Amino acid sequence: MSPQPEKLAQLFLEGKEKQALEYLQELCNDDNKLSLYEDMITPAMYHIGELWELNKISVADEHLATGICDMVISQMENLYFRDKTTLPDEKKVMLLGVEEEQHYLGLKMAASVFKDQGWTVRYLGPNLPLHHALQFINEWKPEVIGVSAALSYRLPKLKEFLQAFQEVDFEPVIIIGGRMTKKHDLDSYSEKKVIVLEDLRSLQYWLDNGREGDMNATS
């Protein structure tokens, strides 16, 4: 069966959580959860964004679809969680959306990718004020901080967060993700332990190949 994100989007819009999950389960096996996140759920939500932009669906429709999508991701997480608790050292990642950012489905999927790789994850969701983020960082001391932002006008806020995170004395690696990375060239942000990753496959690649170099790098 060929994957059809538009069909999934339709199920989200009709509020059909069970059918959406069943549809994904027909396509899913133990090894392709990431591909379903990247090639089905993400394009389904982008499609919903287009319908919304074209006024073909209402804000209420879009909220319903988002809610169903969120529930489906949670269920996928339970059904296909790979319990790989065998990382030699405990590796800790904290994930957050910058202050006022409400888009979080991508961040939630990134949390899933880290968990599947055996990381200890603290997913703090969207809209986290900077001082609360810093307090958490200094107490919990994650090796990696993943930040997500979707909207262009969030760039100054993102920069403020990055600057503050780069001043943390134990020098965590900072990953920038989110729709903004696909819309803007954020290469100039890639400095002192800051990495820009456009999607979950790049994240997976970095976890498989790039991580040690980055995490051992001196600033």
- Which residues of this chain interact with ligand B12, rule CB under 6 A? 38, 42, 45-46, 48-50, 52-53, 62-63, 66, 70, 100-107, 109-110, 146, 148, 150-152, 175, 177-179, 197, 199-200, 203
Q: Which residues contact 100 (CB under 8 A, 6 or more apart)?
A: 127, 154, 157
Q: Give 23 or 148: the residue with its C-beta nearer to ligand B12.
A: 148
- Contact of 145 with 96, CB cutoff 8 Å: yes
Which residues is 121 bridged to in the sheet? 93
CB of residue 69 to ligand B12, shortest distance in Å: 7
Q: Give 24 or 197: the residue with its C-beta nearer to ligand B12.
A: 197
Q: Give 45 or 76: the residue with its C-beta nearer to ligand B12.
A: 45
Q: Which residue has the tokens 């969680």?
A: 81
CB of residue 218 to ligand B12, shortest distance in Å: 23
- Contact of 146 with 175, CB cutoff 8 Å: yes
Q: Which residue has the tokens 């307090």?
A: 135
CB of residue 51 to ligand B12, shortest distance in Å: 9
Q: Write the DSSP symbol of residue 77.
A: H
Tell me how far apart the alpha carbons of residues 76 and 5 are, in angstroms, rounded to a whole number.
Answer: 16
CB of residue 70 to ligand B12, shortest distance in Å: 6
CB of residue 139 to ligand B12, shortest distance in Å: 21
CA angle 176, 179, 182 (to 5 degrees): 85
CB of residue 179 to ligand B12, shortest distance in Å: 4
Tell me how far apart the alpha carbons of residues 61 and 48 are, in angstroms, rounded to a whole number.
Answer: 9
DSSP β-ladder status, 120-123 and 144-148 = unpaired
How far are the Cα atoms of 149, 170, 213 from residue 216, in angstroms, in the given order?
Answer: 26, 12, 5
